[in-house]
Each structure stands twice: as C-alpha cells, then as structure tokens.
Structure 1
Amino acid sequence: MSTEGPLIGCAEAHPNIALVKYWGKRDEKLNLPAVGSISVTLDALTTRTRVTFDPALRRDELRLGDGEAGAARVSVCLDLLREKAGVGWYARVESENDFPTGAGLASSASGFAALVRAADAALGLGLDERELSGIARRGSGSAARSIFGGYVEWPRGERPDGSDSVAHQLLPPGGWPLAVLVAITTRRSKPKGSSEGMKHTARTSPYWEAWVEGQEEDLAAARGAILRRDFQALAEVSERSCLKMHALMMASSPGLLYWNGATVEAIHAIRGLRHEGIPVFFTVDAGPQVKAICLPSFADEVERALRGVGGVLEVIRSGIGDGARVTHAMPVVGD
C-alpha cells in the first residue's frame, strides 16, 4: 500500500455490560477467555477515538482524555492492522470517554472497539465485524463484544490460535428494548485492574474450577432467555452469574472486593423493588457501579429508587446501543 501524508480515521463505540460474566483467561497473550460471556451494549456511554498514522512519528502515542497514557496494548492491536495493510507508520491515538474511566464501566471495551474501527477506516482495510472483534479482543477481552450492538455472545472457543473466540450478535438493539440504569457510586479508578484481578483469582480462588465448569449452563440459559424475550429467566441467570463472579473474587487470597457500601445498598434497593412487583434485576462488573436492567415502562421508578440510595452520586439512564462505527475517515492514499 503506497501512501502519502497522514492516514486518519475516527470512530465511536459504547461499553457493554456482561449479563453472563467474563472472568479469567485461558491464554493471556491472545486474551482468550476461560469462559464465554453474554452482554448488552449501552447507548448512553460513548468513547470517541481518532487514529492518525503519521510517517513523522517514532512510536505509537496514546492520549486518553487530558493526559498521556501507555500505548503498549494499543500497539498490539495496531500492529495486527498495520501488517494487514502493509503500512509501517506509527499512530497517534486520541481517545475520550463521556463517563468515568477505569471505574468498572467497561471503558476499555469501548476504547479498544473504537480504536480498531477507527484504525481500520484510516488504513482503508474494510474488515468485517468478526475480524475486528478478534483484533479488539487482543487489547481488551470485553472489547470483542463492543464491536457489536444489541445482545452479544463471546464464546470461549477451543482453538489455540483464538480464531473461534470472536463475538457475534444474538439480537440487534431494537430486537428487545430494555432500559439500563447505571448507579455511579464512585468516580475513582478501581484499585486493581481486571487483568491482574483475573490472574490473581485463577491462582488463588478455591471456586475457580466450579466457576469454569458452570458457565456453559448459564450461557445456554441466558441465550435462550434473550431469544425468547423472557425477562424473568434472564433476570435469574444474570444475577446468579454476577454473584458467582464476585464470590469467586472475594474467596481469592487475599480477597478481591470491588464493591463499596453504596454498591450493596443499591442491590438491596433493586431487590426491594422486585419484591414490590417491579420487573428489574441487577448486575455488577469488576467495579463498584451497579447496573439495574428493567422494562422501559418501569425505568422512572427504578431511577428514583437508585437516586434515593445513600452514596449513589449519579444515575445514568441508557438503552441498548449500536456497535462500533466510523464517524469520520480521511485516508490519503498515494499512487
């Protein structure tokens, strides 16, 4: 590929929340999961990323929000795309989130999904979503799911090269509209990142084997509930998966506890609403933020209840979002 001048691409993506949780890796280098997972993509939280491949650069650079950040994982994804395009230039990556970063809101998922979509546009590759999912996975496992919108499954896969561990869509965003209320209980970054937490849990938790062995049953239950639009069945398996994951982490040595007091109180509030007949369930990723999922007609009532919980700083209201998409691309291709 002959080029002149910078190659520029811009994209945006949304984080996702796992209903059947991903925790643990079977291959760290390729970022292959120990278990499969199912998620929903959120439309209210957005990462916007600009990628500029520039012959004047001497290394990849990452600017996240107002500050510089390490670009090692970014380079892993960009190297795969550069190899496909036959371009050796380094890239400047500028990315910003309209929500707290590194605080249990899957900013790495939306970040790497937006990165690979923007870089693909800049290089003019035109890769399909399956290929982009596999590349995004190398930066952040859950980014494999944020390439897609709606309800998404990311299988564990069996092949050593990871070629069968790419995400796919179960239902599009409009296939089953649900509301997601995100209760923000802190804006601080979590003390231990997910990658380190996964390694620690796999090494030390006595529940690890049971976690892996029980995942296929949960995946089948959630997949069936989504395809049937069975809210009660999805609520049961989602809460079960959430609590199993956090029990797994808490039982590691030393125990990992990502929750704070407001996390627990928000869970109790959601359970209280359900006791009153409101169709709502909770899930919590590796962080202190609580996500309440409900039928859209009950979103106002759920939001009011969460806002009334002490320690909840903000409630973000979301629907089911689209996948990563190009917003602007200006590749300058030479003769």
Structure 2
Amino acid sequence: MKHSRVTARAHTNIALIKYWGKRDTTLFLPMNSSLSLTLDEFYTDTTVSFIDGDQDVFFLNGVEQPLEECVKISKFIELFRTQSSIKSAVLVESHNHVPTAAGLASSASAFAALGTALNELFVLRMDKQTLSTFVRQGSGSATRSIYGGFVEWQMGIETDGSDSYAIKVDDADWNIAMLTIPVNTRKKEISSREGMKLTVETSPFYPAWVEQAGQDIKAIKQAINNQDFIALGELTEANGMKMHGTMLGANPPFSYWEPLTVKVLQRIREIRGQGIPCYYTMDAGPNVKVICQADKADEIKKLLDQSFPDNTTIISGVGKDAYLLSVE
C-alpha cells in the first residue's frame, strides 16, 4: 500500500570502540568495526511525503535548506527511489532534538530517521540489517542508530558494502548511562572527514590503531556479555584515547582537545579515584562523554556541574531502535 506521509524517529549514538578511517569514501566503508551505545536524550524526528514536481525539498528545523544541502539529501533519497517503482519527488522535514549545548553531531540520528521513514514511504520493507547498509551511505555512524542499546557496525570485506552493516549486541538494560560535558560547541576547524583522511594517509600510528581496534571490539563484546561494567569502561576509555593518539602522529599533527578538555578528563579521573566508576571517551571534537552506571549518574553530574558550572552536564539513558511515529 502506497503511503503519502511518514514520520520516523531515530536516536543518536556514541561509539565506545571508534570508527576512524574509511576503506571506501563513496560507500562509507570503514577500516575497522565499531561498537556504540544509543542514547535516549538526543534524537531526530523526520517526516517525508510525496510532492509534485521534479525536485526534492529539504527543511531542517523549519528552515528550507540551500541547494547544496538539498542535493546531498536527494542523492540519499535516490538510493531508495531506485529500489522502488515510485519515482516521485519527496519533501523532507527534519527536526533535530539535540541540545545545542551538547555539541553532539546529529548526522547519525538524522540519516537513520530519514532512512527509516523512506523505507516505509517507498514500501520497500527492508529489514533493519539491510536498512543499515543504506543509511550508512548518508552517514557512517547512522548505521548504528538503526538499533538501540549496544550496537556493532561490522566493517565487512566486500567491495560493494553488502556485508558492512549493523547488528544489535545487547539491549544495555543493565544500569547503563552516559553523561555529556559540552566543552566547545563551535564549528570545528578540522572536520571529522578531513581529520580522518589525514590520519589514514599520514599517521604511522594508524596501522597499529586498526589492529588494536579489532582486538578491542572482541574484548568489549565479552565485557558486555558478562555485564562487566569496569571492563567495559576501561576498554572504552583506552580505545578513545588511542584514536586521538593517531592524530598526533599525522602530518601535520592535529588535536581536537582544548585546555578545558584536559581539565574535564582530570576531574573524571579524580571522581573515579573517589570510588565512583566512570570512564571518558571523545569523538572528533573537544566535548567529553562519560559512560557510567545509571544509579551513579546524578551523583557524577552534581560533581561535574560543581567543577564546571558554565558547562552543564547532560544525562542520557539508553535509546531504542529507530521507529515509525506515524504513517498516513
């Protein structure tokens, strides 16, 4: 049955074992597998509907986007259009529910929500695993936002990307939470894509990173299976710092850290030294995320807010699978 209007929601995710480097920049195929935690606090709602005319139209947070952005979205929509007998243009209305102060990239939830909605609008009936290979081509990390809980994005080996998809590892329903401490939410001088490319091409540390990431993902999946929070946290923290270490080996060297970043990391180590288990990680930016036990989240937030009153910490629980909000 053809639908006229579909709305979907997807949550953002934070990688615990990082994705850093592509083996194919067109299909967004990663150099290593990664594993993430989906967060309930940050999400995107996207509505898609068929419209008359030859051109797709894209609104973000109520503002019509310029041609450059619309071209990117149209290219993504075309992935779904080519799988369907329906060739109509599409209106995309996307709303990011990601606090501005969080400094969290919303591309993962954005493309996961858009893909989930388009899958229904074009009546394709893809299962989640297949859908994850489609949303990957909008944003690599969107692959993981198709699912809730702990999610693995398997790197795959095929050149067409058919085996590079996401699978749910665990529901993460065992006292897990994550804190976000916004350090700087301005636009980065070096984008993630640029930083990734420079690291892969010039850092002598990079091959060791790829090898170690493969070992880390096996170890963290065992920790999840055992519900061993300490092992989970230690692996998360070590993997994130190794990723940032590869950047210092690039030519020219670069870093996303800022002075406040270092102070936040030190404070988290101090809190851990007081007997409260908590472990930090960072993506390609200065903002710090902390994985902790959910029943300790309020206590850790209070301590961090006292130390950094101008950088309010945000608590997130575990997000769920991408899903449909309405179908007309």
Instruction: Give the shorter-chain TM-score range.
Output: over 0.9
Q: What is the aligned counterpart of 1:187 among 169, 185, 191?
A: 185
User: Is the 1:262–1:310 contact (alpha carbons within 8 Å) kept by the matching residues of 2?
Assistant: no
In the alignment, is the contact (CA less than 8 A) between 1:262 and 1:312 conserved in 2? no
Structure 1 CA distance, aligned partners of 2:314 and 2:175?
17
Task: Tell me the equivalent position of 1:84.
Answer: 83
Q: Using a 3 Å threshold, how does the CA distance of structure 1 residues 145 and 303 change in structure 2: closer, same or farther?
A: same
Give 2:243's aligned residue: 245
Could you tell me how far 1:311 is from its partner in structure 2? 7.2
Closer, same or farther: CA 104–158 of 1 in aligned 2, 3 Å: farther
Identify the residue that residue 28 of structure 2 maps to in structure 1: 31
1:55 aligns with 2:58: no
Distance 1:217 1:312 in 2: 38
Tell me the equivalent position of 2:7. 10
Instruction: Classify 1:200/1:61 alpha carbon distance in 2 versus 1 (closer, same or farther; 3 Å).
Output: farther
What is residue 201 of structure 1 aligned with on the other side? 199
CA distance in 1, matches of 2:32, 2:101: 22
Rounded Cα–Cα distance in structure 2 between residues aligned with 1:259 and 1:65: 29
- SS at the partner of 2:307? coil
CA shift at 1:100, angstroms? 4.8
Which deviations, in whole Å up to 9, do the C-alpha atoms of 1:67-123 show, x marking residues without a partner? 415134322331121111222222221212122579752311001000101111222
CA distance in 2, matches of 1:160, 1:265: 43
Residue deviations 1:21-51 (CA, integer Å, cap 9, x gap) = 0000001111000111000000011111111
Displacement after TM superposition at 1:209 (Å): 1.1
Worse-superposed segment, 287-296 or 181-190: 181-190
Amino acid at match of 1:53: F
Does 2:307 correspond to 1:309? yes
The aligned residue for residue 333 of structure 1 is none
Q: Give the 3-state SS of the residue equivalent to 2:137 in structure 1.
A: helix
2:170 maps to which residue?
Answer: 171
Contact 1:249/1:256 (8 A) holds in 2: yes
Task: Give me the identity figure in percent.
Answer: 42
214-223 or 176-185, which deviates more: 176-185
Change (3 A) 1:48 1:196: same
Deviates more, 1:80-89 or 1:236-245: 80-89
Alpha-carbon deviation of 1:155? Answer: 1.1
| CA pair 110-179 structure 1, distance change in 2 beyond 3 A | same
Cα 1:104–1:214, aligned 2, differ >3 Å: closer, same or farther? farther
Instruction: Name the residue aligned to 1:269.
Output: 267
Matches within 5 A, 1:2-151: 7-56=4-53, 58-67=54-63, 68-69=65-66, 70-100=69-99, 105-151=104-150
After TM superposition, which residue ranges in structure 1, 4 or more long, deviate above 4 angstroms? 100-104
Please state whether the residue corresponding to 1:96 is helix, strand or coil.
Answer: strand
- Superposition pairs for residues 206-225 of structure 1, below 5 Å? 206-225=204-223
Give the letter for the 1:51 counterpart: V
Task: Determine the C-alpha separation between the residues in 2 that align with 1:256 and 1:36.
Answer: 24
Counterpart residue type for residue 280 of structure 2: F
Letter aligned with residue 208 of structure 2:
A
Contact 1:110–1:146, Cα closer than 8 Å, also in 2: yes
Other-structure match for 2:325:
327
Is 1:234 matched with 2:235?
A: no
CA RMSD in angstroms, aligned pairs only? 1.9
In 2, distance between residues paired with 1:153 and 1:294?
20
**C-alpha distance in structure 2 between counterparts of 1:95 and 1:243, whole Å:** 33
Determine the C-alpha separation between the residues in 1 that align with 2:308 and 2:275: 23
Shift of 1:66: 4.5
Partner deviation per Cα, 1:286-323 (whole Å, 9 max, x = no partner):
11221111111211221012213337522111111102
Distance 1:314 1:102, change over 3 A: closer
